[in-house]
Structure 1
Amino acid sequence: MLQIINSLKGDKVIWAFIALLALFSFMPVFSASSNLAYMRHGSGNALTYLLKHAVHIFIGFFIIYQVHKIPYHYFRGISMVSLPIVWILLVYTLVKGTVVEGANASRWIQIPFIGISFQTSTLAAIVLYVYVARYLSKSREIIPNFKQSFIELWIPVFITIALIFPANFSTAALIFAMVTMLAFIGKYPLKYIGIILGVGLISGLFFILIVKAFPDAFPNRVDTWISRIDNFTSDKPGEDDYQIEKAKIAIATGGIYGLGPGKSIQKNFLPQSSSDFIFAIIVEEYGILGALTILGLYLLLLFRFIIAAHKANSLFGKLVVVGLGFPIIFQALINMAVAVELLPVTGQTLPLISSGGSSVWMTCIAIGIILSVTKKEEEIAQELDEKQKRDEALKRLIDKQLQDDEDSEIISENEDCSITDNPMKAILKKQ
């Protein structure tokens, strides 16, 4: 075990926090999956869902290990090649998406021969963040022309978001917010950012008007967004109100210390108890203390991401850590805010804790890239340390040689003096 741990490169604290979140996830997932085990003529065995989650986590850590070994500067080129591929996948998902547990048909695709549902927007987000980081790091030395930057940076961003927006508003909004934040951190001119925000807002409103005018033109979830916002801002009963009410009952029941692991009652009534609303089950079983512990782990992970970004010796590395790390934390905060009704229902999962295959794996890819950045900084620090040790050893060797030379000169001078003082020694030396 120690050998495996020692083989891990990169920031060990990030490794530790990720492992803690993954290990904690087993109990809530096992408990919350019991209702799924009895739904739709299930076998009633929740252990199946626990084993499935364990396989997802194991594959996820394997992904992290493999990705973190890749030098992070390789992802510059990978993002450029992957972006058109992602667009093709998003178009296919929008047109040929599949229904997952009754959800909208335009958010997932089924991977052939494997039977795994895959949400392409999560992969698109990772590729886009790296692409934006590449562009901003490349153009840092030169103040970008708005027209040129709009073509090279913002058109790919808007194409990606436009392909996600009709089926997944919350993910599209999160991606746009993160890209804007990256542009701000990358010193993109503020006046240009203001123009982009205006363009994004107008484009979103225009899309909604088009959908309202031609509701059957293409797949979309505009009515779902509007109903969720209406339910959130009004007292009208709706489907989301049922989920929120059950989540609030679970949170109120948990109190400070919770009912105990596996003793949740509301897991039998919440439709998404093991994914979207797993935080409510955590509070019910582990209380406010358990909820604060989870929140604390995410905030500490955010703090570690900030440290990793600060230590990165290149702008690209800094932006990659921020662009891939911050969305993980913001997604977690959004999931918690939905559970306590601070935000309308969005469908965002709790990273590394909620059940699910592709969502866990995409998070693991992002973490692997972040660890690749920290690994590079470790290697640089190790090289500097070794160079310093070599320099110190060389200095000691030179000092020793100089000291030996001085000692030999002193001995030689003493010998000459002793010969001069004793004439007999001088005569014998000549002979």
Structure 2
Amino acid sequence: MKELISKLKGDKGIWSFVALLALFSFMPVFSASSNLAYMNHGTGNTISFLFTHLAHIFMGFIIIYAVHKVPYHYFRGISKFALPIVWILLAFTLIKGTVIAGANASRWIKVPFIGITFQTSTFAFVVLMVFVARYLSKKNDVPMTFKSSLWELWAPVFVTLMLILPANFSTTALIFAMVVMLAFVGKYPLKYIGFVIGTGVVFLMFFILVAKSFPDSRFFSRVGTWTNRIENFTTDKPDEDIYQIEQAKIAIASGGVYGLGPGKSVQKNLLPQSSSDFIFAIIVEEYGLIGGLLVLGLYLLLFFRFIVAAHKTNSLFGKLLVVGLGFPMIFQALINMAVAVELLPVTGQTLPLISSGGSSIWMTCVSLGIIIGVTKKDEEIAEELKNKERRADALQKLIDKQLEEEDAFNEDYALANDYSIEDKAANPMNAVLNK
């Protein structure tokens, strides 16, 4: 185990907090999967869901390890060529997407010959953030104009968002907000950022108006769900989302300070998506306020490590990668928790590294692998500088030693030459030797 840990490069704090979140996830997922186990006349056995989650987490750590070994600047070029592939996958998802785990939106595609499902929007998010970081770091040394960035930056961003929007508004809004945040961090002109935000809002309003004009279209089927969720959040209108929120609040209230105990949740049998979207409510019910604060604290500590990593990174591209890929994980976690306590309307965002799911965990691990790869490169640079300093110190000590030996030799030589004839004559031994 020590040998394995020694091979892990990069920020050890990030490794530690990610491992703690992943380890903690097993008990809540094992407990909260009971409603899925009873679906479609199931037996209620959650062991299979536990092993599935274990496989997803194990594969996720393999992904982190593999990705963090790749020099992070390689992703600069990969994102440019991966973006058109993302568009194809998103378009295919809109047309042929499937529904899984009781979700009410077609956001997944089945991978041929393997049989696993894959949420394409999570892959699109990672690629798009790397693409934006690439552009901002490339243009940092030259003045940016809106005309030049319109086609190189914002056109690809809006194409990606338009392909995600019809099936997943919350993910679209999160990605757009994170792109804007990254543009601000990358010193994109504020006046252009304001114009981009305004354009995004206008386009969203236009999309909703068109959807209202064609309510029977499959392409606009999710718009009614969005508006209902906002109305339900602001009113007491009975609806499925209100039912979920009410059950989540009952679970949180039942947990109290110390919780009911692992596996003793009652609301897990009544709360839809209890192992994914509303798993935080089950955590608080079983582990209490202390467990909920512990989870929140781990995410905040991970956020702190992301800030430290971004501050230490010398490369602008590396800084933008850490911000663009790391910060959204924390914001997604906060959104998930806020939904559970009814601070936000239902969004469908999962709790990173804790909620059950395959592609969401794996794409989170890809992001973590890239971030750790950035910190690994910084450690390698720092270690190289230390080695250079050690070599310089050793060389200086050798030079100083040689100089000292040379000075000692010169002193002895000078003393030998200064031993004059008069001194030799005055030596009593010379008289003896002369006889």
Distance (Å, rounded) in 2 between the aligned partners of 1:161 and 1:241: 28
Distance (Å, rounded) in 2 between the aligned partners of 1:105 and 1:254: 31
Q: TM-score normalized by structure 1?
A: 0.97
**Shift, 1:104, TM fit:** 3.4
Q: Which residue of 2 aligns with 1:374?
A: 375
CA contact (8 A) 2:136 2:188 kept: yes
Q: Which residue of 1 aligns with 2:433?
A: none
**Shift, 1:28, TM fit:** 0.4
Computed over aligned residues only, the root mean square deviation of the Cα atoms, in angstroms, reads 1.4
Q: Which residue of 2 aligns with 1:42?
A: 42
Distance (Å, rounded) in 1 between the aligned partners of 2:8 and 2:183: 32
- The one-letter amino acid of 1:51's match is F
Q: How many residues in Structure 1 have an aligned counterpart in Structure 2?
A: 427
Distance (Å, rounded) in 2 between the aligned partners of 1:269 and 1:164: 30
Q: Which residue of 2 aligns with 1:141?
A: 141
- The one-letter amino acid of 2:82's match is S
**Shift, 1:215, TM fit:** 2.5
Distance (Å, rounded) in 2 between the aligned partners of 1:77 and 1:216: 42
1:175-324 map, 5 Å: 175-220=175-220, 221-324=222-325
- The one-letter amino acid of 1:291's match is G
Q: Which residue of 2 aligns with 1:14?
A: 14
Distance (Å, rounded) in 2 between the aligned partners of 1:101 and 1:387: 56
**Shift, 1:142, TM fit:** 1.2
Q: Which residue of 2 aligns with 1:61?
A: 61
CA contact (8 A) 1:60 1:360 kept: yes
Distance (Å, rounded) in 2 between the aligned partners of 1:46 and 1:295: 26
CA contact (8 A) 2:25 2:354 kept: yes
The unaligned stretches of length 5 or more in structure 2 are: 431-435
Q: Secondary structure at the match of 2:276?
A: coil
Distance (Å, rounded) in 2 between the aligned partners of 1:34 and 1:179: 37
Distance (Å, rounded) in 2 between the aligned partners of 1:373 and 1:276: 30
Does 2:372 match 1:363?
no
Q: Which residue of 1 aligns with 2:424?
A: 422
1:20-39 map, 5 Å: 20-39=20-39
Q: Percent identity?
A: 69
Q: Which residue of 1 aligns with 2:119?
A: 119
The unaligned stretches of length 5 or more in structure 1 are: none
- The one-letter amino acid of 2:328's match is P
CA contact (8 A) 2:102 2:273 kept: no
Q: Which residue of 2 aligns with 1:164?
A: 164
- CA deviations 1:376-431 (Å, max 9, x no partner) are 00000000000000000001000000000001011111222235421599x9xxxx
**Shift, 1:101, TM fit:** 2.8
CA contact (8 A) 2:71 2:377 kept: yes
**Shift, 1:103, TM fit:** 2.5
Distance (Å, rounded) in 1 between the aligned partners of 2:174 and 2:269: 31
- CA deviations 1:255-314 (Å, max 9, x no partner) are 001011111110011111110000000000100011001000101100110110011111
Runs of 4+, deviation exceeding 6 Å: none
Mean CA deviation greater in 359-368 or 41-50: 41-50
**Shift, 1:105, TM fit:** 4.5
- CA deviations 1:208-240 (Å, max 9, x no partner) are 111111234452310000011111110111001
Distance (Å, rounded) in 2 between the aligned partners of 1:398 and 1:419: 34
Distance (Å, rounded) in 2 between the aligned partners of 1:424 and 1:7: 75
- The one-letter amino acid of 2:138's match is K
- CA deviations 1:32-78 (Å, max 9, x no partner) are 11222222121322111111100000000000000000000000000
Distance (Å, rounded) in 2 between the aligned partners of 1:27 and 1:326: 26
CA gap of 1:105–1:225, structure 2 versus 1, over 3 A, is closer
CA contact (8 A) 1:106 1:219 kept: no
Q: Which residue of 2 aligns with 1:96?
A: 96
- The one-letter amino acid of 1:14's match is I
Q: Which residue of 2 aligns with 1:349?
A: 350
